Structure 1
Amino acid sequence: MNDEQHISSLVLMHRHEAMPAIKALVEAHAALEIAAHGDCRCVVLCETGDQRSLMDCIDALQALPGVLNVSLIYHHVESLSELDQPMEPGLSS
């Protein structure tokens, strides 16, 4: 069993007409979520259980017609056991 959670943010640069295809792909993948979007760019959040799944999501987004670039902006790996721990009151990031 994999004890990791990969949390990533991706910035996509795309043609205006690519947005419906991007939305459809994101809706079809539970690991993806559009956090923000403009006319020709958007931020997609990706939460996967391993790095290969993250790369598969990046590849799928990059393969969409009208997507010009997919940039990995943030990538954090946390163990699932750590994510299950309660936060101590008074701690802030």
Structure 2
Amino acid sequence: MNADTLHIASFIVHVRPPQLAAVAAWLNAAAGCEVRGEDPAGKLVAVVESLEECRALDLIDRVQTRPGVLGAALVYHQLLDPATADEPHEGA
């Protein structure tokens, strides 16, 4: 683990609508993860922050085994210095 790098990743989860709330609650309970968008038709956008690169990929693997989940895919990954992560960045 490289404590000098903060990994921020987002992914989309396609869920059967009846399980949407349960999957969103499960993601929100996962360490470092937050659901930032939700479509009642069955899509969730989740963001995970971690000092461990594999955290987002592990979470994607685990969410795909949840009841009602049809699929999940990484859509964004950024590396930041943890000391300056909350400061405005060029292009942000």
Question: TM-score band (shorter)?
Answer: 0.7 to 0.9
- In the TM superposition, 1:1-93 aligns within 5 A as 2-39=3-40, 40-83=42-85, 93=92
Deviation at residue 24 of structure 1 after TM alignment: 2.5
**Structure 1 segments of 4 or more deviating over 3 A?**
none
Deviation at residue 21 of structure 1 after TM alignment: 2.4
Counterpart amino acid of 2:21? P
**What is the aligned-residue identity percentage?**
27
> Aligned-pair RMSD on alpha carbons?
2.2
- Partner Cα distance (1:64, 1:21) in 2: 9
Deviation at residue 28 of structure 1 after TM alignment: 1.8
How many residues align structurally? Answer: 90
Deviations 1:54-81 (CA, angstroms, capped at 9, x unpaired): 1121112111111111111110011223
- Partner Cα distance (2:26, 2:4) in 1: 26
Deviation at residue 87 of structure 1 after TM alignment: 5.2
- More helix by proportion, 1 or 2? 1
Given that 1:18 and 1:64 are in contact with CA atoms closer than 8 Å, whether structure 2 keeps it comes out as no
| Cα 1:53/1:19, change in 2 over 3 Å | same
SS of aligned partner of 1:47: strand
Unmatched tracts of structure 1, length 5 or more? none
Counterpart amino acid of 2:69? V
TM-score for both structures, normalised by structure 2: 0.80
Unmatched tracts of structure 2, length 5 or more? none
* Larger CA Rg, structure 1 vs 2: 1
